[in-house]
Amino acid sequence: MPLLEVKNLKVHYPIRGGILGRIQSYVKAVDDVSFSMDSGETLGLIGESGSGKSTTGKAILGLTHITDGQIFFDGKDITNSVKKNRSPYRKSVQMIFQDVYSSLNPRKRVLDIIAEPIRNFGEKMTKAEEEKAVDELLAIVGMSPSVKIKYPFEFSGGQRQRIGLARAIALKPKLIVADEPVSALDLSIQAQVLNYLVEIQEELNLAYLFVSHDLGVVKHMCKNLAIMHNARFVEYGSSDEIYNNPTHIYTRRLITAIPDIDPEKRAENAKRRSDVADEYAAQRSNYYAEDGKVYDLKQLNPDHYVAMP
Ligand SMILES: Nc1ncnc2c1ncn2[C@@H]1O[C@H](COP(=O)(O)OP(=O)(O)OP(=O)(O)O)[C@@H](O)[C@H]1O
Ligand SMILES: [Mg+2]
């Protein structure tokens, strides 16, 4: 049984207009998306800005409404209870946010930031027990107990993201939605935070829904990948399949956009990028319906699905 199963998820936002504020049309932020994840698995959700990645993550956490579809967790249909604060589901699923500079409350000390989920959802603890729990969480992300009394502005971006991570794992969740957790960080710090994410995952058998616009970042972490474009999946399957046999023109373009650090291959890659860009322009109409909509996914093999007519 999968840990998380999302079936035909749709999130449409109304656009209102006129003096009466009537609904005039809808923004389809997520339009019929299905996927599943096992315990301890990392699924990469990749796509350009505005493709619907964050909305998908938010829907799973009950942070936005769901227009249609179902969410199952541990085999239970939790579609209608994702928003209930006290449901056990809300302890099992946590989020880390992209913006490390605004996602931690600037007026709270690290102790209160990390202890907040425990106070809201966890078991009752004395002050001393709580401090001990926070110290343990800080140790997991490689920080000293002395940082408890400090405020977010006293930390660098990478340190803040580690504090966010300590808070996210405070309730021993089973799934973390990591929404671009390293994209605001310097390249050197990105690797460090990714290492912490992987270490903690192994220790707690965590599943990650790892949102990124950059296939390069997730290359080594994800068992499976979902490539999203215009609110739908254009390609979905195992990372091996998608890297070695990218089939949708959009995926092919994303893969050639990964920068290569090997200088000898640079010229070759630039050529490949320009070939794929030409191919994208020439063949776009074969991969999208007339109104620009992404086709439904078709199965190529048990580990690989592609949106095709
Ligand atoms: N609350 C909202 N009301 C109206 N439209 C919204 C709302 N939230 C998101 N959208 C729209 O839905 C679409 C998908 O947004 P979303 O934030 O999920 O994209 P994203 O893939 O996370 O992009 P980014 O990489 O920039 O974070 C966008 O067109 C966005 O403008
Ligand atoms: Mg986003």
Tell me: the pLDDT tens digits for 190-214? Answer: 888 888 899 999 999 999 999 998 8
Note the pTM of the prediction, 2 decimals. Answer: 0.91
Residue nearest to atom 7 of ligand 1 (CA): 13
- Predicted confidence at residue 286, as pLDDT, reads 87
In the DSSP assignment, the letter for residue 154 is: G
- 106-115, 138-147, 269-278: least confidently modelled range: 269-278
242-252: average pLDDT: 93
What is the token pair recorded at 54?
Answer: 């964050």
Ion ligand 2 residues within 5 Å by Cβ: 54
33 lines ligand 1 (CB under 6 A): no
- Predicted confidence at residue 86, as pLDDT, reads 66
- Predicted confidence at residue 7, as pLDDT, reads 97
pLDDT surpassing 80 at residue 178: yes
148-171: average pLDDT: 91
Interior angle at CA 296, CA 9 and CA 231, nearest 5: 50
53 lines ligand 1 (CB under 6 A): yes
Tell me how far the alpha carbon of residue 52 lies from the centroid of ligand 1, in angstroms. Answer: 6
Provide the greatest CA pair distance for the chain: 65
Map out the domains of the chain as residue ranges. Answer: 4-222
Tell me: the pLDDT tens digits for 180-195? Answer: 988 878 888 888 888 8
What CA–CA distance (Å, rounded) separates 309 from 59? 28
Among 206, 125, 132, smallest CA distance to 165 is for: 206
3 lines ligand 1 (CB under 6 A): no
- Predicted confidence at residue 285, as pLDDT, reads 85
Residue nearest to atom 28 of ligand 1 (CA): 50
What is the token pair recorded at 172?
Answer: 């021993």
233-259: average pLDDT: 91
Burial (CB count <10 Å: 0-12, 13-18, 19+), residue 233: buried
- Predicted confidence at residue 241, as pLDDT, reads 95
For 4-222, give the CATH class: alpha beta
14 lines ligand 1 (CB under 6 A): no
What CA–CA distance (Å, rounded) separates 104 from 107? 9
76-84: average pLDDT: 83
What is the token pair recorded at 230?
Answer: 């215009």
Which atom, in ligand 1's list, is nearest to the CA of 213? 25
Tell me how far the alpha carbon of residue 50 lies from the centroid of ligand 1, in angstroms. Answer: 5
Which atom, in ligand 1's list, is nearest to the CA of 28? 12
Residue nearest to atom 13 of ligand 1 (CA): 29
Q: Is-contact 289 295, C-beta < 8 A?
A: yes
Among 63, 79, 64, smallest CA distance to 5 is for: 79
- 73-77, 87-91, 230-234, 289-293: least confidently modelled range: 87-91
Q: Is 189 helix (H, G, I), strand (E, B) or coil?
A: helix
Tell me how far the alpha carbon of residue 305 lies from the centroid of ligand 1, in angstroms. Answer: 24
Which atom, in ligand 1's list, is nearest to the CA of 52? 18
Q: Where are the alpha helices (DSSP H) in 9-156?
A: 53-61, 88-92, 110-121, 127-140
279-285: average pLDDT: 84
213 lines ligand 1 (CB under 6 A): yes
Tell me how far the alpha carbon of residue 13 lies from the centroid of ligand 1, in angstroms. Answer: 10
52 lines ligand 1 (CB under 6 A): yes
85 lines ligand 1 (CB under 6 A): no
